[in-house]
Amino acid sequence: MPAHRLNTVWVTGAGGLIGSYLVRTVATLSPDTQAVALTRAELDLTDFSSVAIHFRRDAPGAVFHCAALSRSPECEKDPVQARLQNVEVTRVLAELAAEIPFVFFSSDLVFDGAAGYYNEEAPANPLSVYAETKLEAEQIVLNNPRHLVLRTSLNGGQSPTGDRGFNEQMRRAWQNGQTLRFFTDEFRCPIAAEVTARAAWELFRKGVSGLFHVAGAERLSRWELGRMIAARCPELDPKFEAASLRNYAGAPRSPDTSLDCSRVLKHLSFTLPRFSEWLGNHREPF
C-alpha cells in the first residue's frame, strides 16, 4: 500500500447531512486538507473488495465515516441490512484505517432515555435496531486508540437531497399538507450540522481520540423543537399538535437522550450553542 497522503481525507456519506457539511466546510475549517467526498453512487461501501481497492488507490490520511442506514423504521424492517450497513461497513473501514485517524459518528439513541443528561461513562441500553447497530459499531471503532467516536443528537441543516435534516423532514411534511404530532415528553439536544462539522474538524486537527458527546447545549422536547421550526416557515401554514409517549403504541422510543457535552468542550475553541440561540442568529431558510 502506498504511503498515506496525510492531507487527503475520505468522507463517507457525503451525500447526507453531516457528511455534506464536512465537505463544504473543509476549505475554511481545514484548508490544508483535501476531502474525497464518497457517496453511494460513487462507491458501494458494502462491496468490501472494491472499498479496499479504492482505499489503496487514494491512500487517505484519515477517514470520516458518516454513512449509515439511519432511518429507524428501515432498520427495524430489515435488521440484517442495518447490521451490514452500520456494523460490518464500519468494521471494514476501521480495519483499513487502523494506522490513521478514523472519525465515526454515532447517536444519542444508544441510551434508553430513562435518565437523560448522559455523559460518556453512562451505560448504554439501546432500544432499537438502529441504536443497537450504532453501539456495536462504536465498540469496534474504540478498540483502536487512534480512533474517535462522536455521539450526536438530532442534526439540522440543508442536505443535498433536501430530506436528511429534521427540519427538512418537517418542512416536506407540511408542504404535503400533513399534520405532525410532536411529543411533549420526548427530549433531545438538537444541533446544527454545520456546528457538528466544525467540532469534528477541530477535534481531528488536534489529534483527539476516544469517545465524546457533541450536541446542542439545550434540552428540548419534540414539541418545543417543532414549534421553533414551524415559526420559521409560516408560508407553509404548518399544522401540528401535541402528543405524549404515554399514548404511543409504536416501536420503543427513548424519552430523554439529552447529552452532557462537558468533556468535549475541553478540546474545542468554541462553545456548543443552545439550538434556540443558534436558530435566532441564522435567518436564512432552515
Residue 229 C-alpha cell reads as 421550526
Task: Round to whole Å and give the CA distance between 285 and 277.
Answer: 15
What domains lie within the chain, and their CATH numbers? Answer: 5-157+191-216+259-274 (3.40.50.720)
Distance of CA 241 to the CA centre of its chain: 27
pLDDT tens digits, residue range 155-173? 999 999 989 999 999 999 9
Residue 285 pLDDT: 72
Residues of the chain scoring pLDDT < 50: 1
CA dist., res. 126 & res. 237, Å (int): 36
Q: Model confidence over 234-252: pLDDT tens digits?
A: 999 999 999 999 999 888 8
pTM for the structure as a whole: 0.95
Distances (CA, A) of 33 to 6, 51, 104, 232: 8, 21, 18, 35
Please tell me the predicted confidence (pLDDT) of residue 2: 56
Task: Give residue 211's pLDDT.
Answer: 98
Cell numbers 487527503 correspond to 8
- So what's the pLDDT on residue 283? 79
Cell matching residue 257: 437522550
Q: How far apart are CA 271 and CA 286, in angstroms?
A: 21
Using an 8 Å Cβ cutoff, are 148 and 104 in contact?
Answer: yes
Look at residue 157 in the predicted model and tell me its pLDDT. 95
Alpha carbons 286 and 281: distance in angstroms, whole number:
12
